[in-house]
Chain A
Amino acid sequence: MLKLEGINKIFNEGTPDEKVALNNINLHLKPGDFVTVIGSNGAGKSTMMNMISGVLKPDVGKVWIDGKDVTHLPEYKRSHYIGRVFQDPMAGTAPSMTIEENLAIAYARNANRSLRLGVNRQRRDFFRTSLEKLHLNLENRLNAKVGLLSGGERQALSLLMATFTQPAILLLDEHTAALDPSRAELITNLTKQLVEENHLTTLMVTHNMQQAIDLGNRLIMMDKGQIILEVDEVQKPNLTIPDLMAEFERIRGEKMNSDRALLG
């Protein structure tokens, strides 16, 4: 479904600030795979996400989605296939527009936008039933401006908007990191529910090891621009945090340096 082939990316090449962000990344997601990505700050997780979504272009390497080479497709064209939720709850929605208008924008993702009304009765019904799944009572606030919602509500809405058109790939970039623990748990559960319902092929970056272990059928660990560990669907169910830390020490010969990477 998603294939990264020998991706390399260097920032500020040829200057004293040169940084190898991604070093020969190879990754293959089968349809329905849910891969969690962990790693400390600067490991290249977000850069990898930006490669897939088209925000950044690789120096070397290819990106395939659904059997198509999309390496040179601009971001807005790739978004036909990719649903995204960002870390910042403000980033995934338009604050001065209403809930139903935001949903209408997301709904129009797959087709070319036309001069049809964005919200009609049929779509409004669909939006309402979709919102009911969130159990946040948003279905009764279709005409509320999104800027008035709390961070958790906005993130739940972003998640729904990213998934309900069933994109080929779902990218979650630390989408619970900016929320308080109870809201984060709510969003984590929603993620699980929505991914399962829509059978989405998902890549989720997280700082939280427990979350990385609880969610998904595969796990990868990144460090210094490389994928240093891949846990497949057979090993993943038995994985624990001490396992992961021991594995990191064995591979890198040093202790994990960031507490944030451990407990998030």
Chain B
Amino acid sequence: MESQFPILQIMDCNGQIVSPMYKEKITEDIVKNFYKQLLRIRLFDRKAVSLQRQGRIGTYAPFEGQEAAQVGSALALEPADWMFPTYRDHGAAFVFGHSLRNILLFWNGRNEGCVPPSGKRIFPPGIPIATQIPHAVGAALGEKIKGSNHAAIAYFGDGATSEGDFHEGLNFASVIKAPVVFFNQNNQYAISVPIEKQMNTKTIAQKALAYDIPSVRLDGNDVFIVYFETLKALERARKGEGPTLIEAVTWRYGAHTTADDPSKYRDQIESNNRRVETDPLLRLERWLKNEGLYEENWIRQIESDANQEIELAIAEMEAFPKANPADIFDYVFAEPTWQINQQKEEYLRLIGGEDKCIRR
């Protein structure tokens, strides 16, 4: 099966274009634009880990190493498309237009973090594994019924493909030809369980055969193959040709979340080697160097811009009004039930009333 699903690449680890048909499309502009996005989310991810260490946010799920998969796929979307991310896909959500402040609020235990900016169709991060896949199918079915040309993208990891919701989602989407892209980031570990213990198949892409939907396996650290293949899948969806499964093979350098230690379940030398050899940002730097376009000043400038943006978002997150206890009661139903009203009144009376809490 592995030979039926080769790992496709446009730019290899040395920054060489290995698919000649894309040679003209890989211009200085596109490389610099993609590099900027990769850097933005990498800097954010590192900063978030450090915020967690300092106790300024809660448990955090880092994605360092997976930036190309997230940036390439998110940039392929049209503004009115739907995004159904997991808890590790806030890089993609950010690139697609989510608010950085709200992403930080989410990691700091606030419901406000699940609210996308006005007009952005981004679902809250899926926490129970694979459950967001049927949601994406439903939203896509809605677009099909409306006769629009919008599509949906569902993100999920390798472990998610063992869940029923993955299979139910792919099967249903295939039957109804839903305009949806199933975007898998195969980082080869589900917390501590390596892919060989997760599945007996050598690829995730081959699972699409069972549903008779097209699939492709690609180098998830090559932002260009991710971008162009996602674009292709979205085009199929928009033309009414139904769903596609994309397997982006990648690697997370760090822990599953800030609450675990990866050295307990794998040799981190592998991660260190990958940082040098297959890193999504380094290969773009290598391309720039090969082409004589690498400018230290430009890199420093975009780094400083990104850091400024991140610091601003952190300041906004930290200046955000304290959690209002009334909120936990007020958003369960459109109109709270008498039970919820009673519990709210009694609790607020006990703690000295809502007035003592800072309102937004």
Pair from one complex: no
Q: Which residues of A contact B (CB under 8 A)?
A: none
Q: Which residues of B contact A (CB under 8 A)?
A: none
